Amino acid sequence: MQPDDTPLKPGDEGPPDAPGVGEDACRACHGTGSVEGHRCAVCNGTGKVLQGIGGG
């Protein structure tokens, strides 16, 4: 598998091709991409972050 060269957003916990990582709604903006009328700094305005999934 080729590594994904997409830069991680501040809220991402790992790269998209890492085992145990999945896409989730940003907790800071609740998936809207903005906070108080400004682009969300956690998800960079996408409304999505990469979170660790599974138990541990």
* pLDDT value for 30: 97
Residue 38: predicted pLDDT = 98
C-alpha distances (whole Å) from 38 to each of 1, 14, 21, 50 are 36, 25, 27, 21
Give the pLDDT score at 4.
Answer: 58
CB 12 within 8 A of CB 6: no
Question: What are the pLDDT digits (tens) for 12-52?
Answer: 888 888 888 889 999 999 999 999 999 999 999 999 999 98
DSSP assignments along 5-18, one per residue: -PPPPTT-SS-TTS
Verdict on whether the full-model pTM lies above 0.75: no
